[in-house]
Amino acid sequence: MDSILHNLQIINEKIHRATLQNGRNPEDIKLVLATKTVSPERIITALSTGEKFIGENKIQEIISKYDDLQTVPHKKHFIGHLQTNKIKDIIKYDVACIESVDRLDLAQKLQQRLTLENKSMDILIQVNTSGESSKFGVRPENTLDLVRSIASMDRLHIKGLMTIGIFSDDHVKVRKCFKLLKQIRDQIAIQHIAGVEMKELSMGMSGDFEIAIEEGATIVRIGTAIFGKRIYPDSYYWNESK
């Protein structure tokens, strides 16, 4: 438990430093705690320090942790691959933002369900900036079209873009992914599409969040550097068939 507090302090200091070094305001960066496989008890330890956001990859984990987390205020982001048959639960269990909308049929089904329940949802569009087939996300060149199509859906509020950078020790390659996301964001923003905000850039994880902040991230999603190593490989969480 102590290590969570210690790690959080270090991460927040690093975020703070990176924002100031880049002439940015620390308040413009949100830290989303990536809490896959992390127990409610450990999540509560982190939230008790004043952290406000958690990000989950699997609806099953959102459901199983739901009651325990009721005791401490927080907002939930969904950051995993979303199957359409899980939409009902996403809405039911108070997800505040789906960061991983990457295809039209998913958006259409979300819109349908939200209309039925007279609710709305903040979303980000997930872009595959690394070109790796293992990663979900809309292709960069198709992002604007997808945004345009979703813009007409009144229950979905597009707040920006999300990406998972390439896993590589080569900072140049990682940075390229983040630069690309920002470039796409800027291209969409100048279109001034009604109902579309391009404020948020969700990019950067434990290994690369400082680079992401340099490149304009407004949301960083950090798990390992706060909660320690996970038992399952990330592919387990990113692969739809599991």
Ligand X SMILES: *Cc1c(COP(=O)(O)O)cnc(C)c1O
Site residues for ligand X per CB under 6 A: 34, 36, 57, 79, 164, 205-207, 221-225, 234, 237
Helix, coil or strand: residue 151: helix
Contact 77, 54 (CB under 8 A): yes
Contact 165, 177 (CB under 8 A): yes
Closer to ligand X at the Cβ: 38 or 150? Answer: 38
Instruction: Kindly state the smallest distance separating residue 11's Cβ from ligand X, in Å.
Output: 10
Instruction: Kindly state the smallest distance separating residue 190's Cβ from ligand X, in Å.
Output: 27
Contact 80, 60 (CB under 8 A): no
Closer to ligand X at the Cβ: 153 or 178? Answer: 178
Closer to ligand X at the Cβ: 34 or 184? Answer: 34
In this chain, which residue has its C-beta nearest to ligand X? 223
Instruction: Kindly state the smallest distance separating residue 33's Cβ from ligand X, in Å.
Output: 9
Name, in order, each residue with C-beta under 8 angstroms of 2's C-beta and a sequence gap of 6 or more.
none
- Residue in the block written with tokens 């959102």: 62
Q: Within the chain, how many helices (H) and strands (E) appear?
A: 10, 8
Instruction: Kindly state the smallest distance separating residue 108's Cβ from ligand X, in Å.
Output: 23
Closer to ligand X at the Cβ: 66 or 236? Answer: 236
Q: What tokens appear for 163 in the block? A: 């990406």
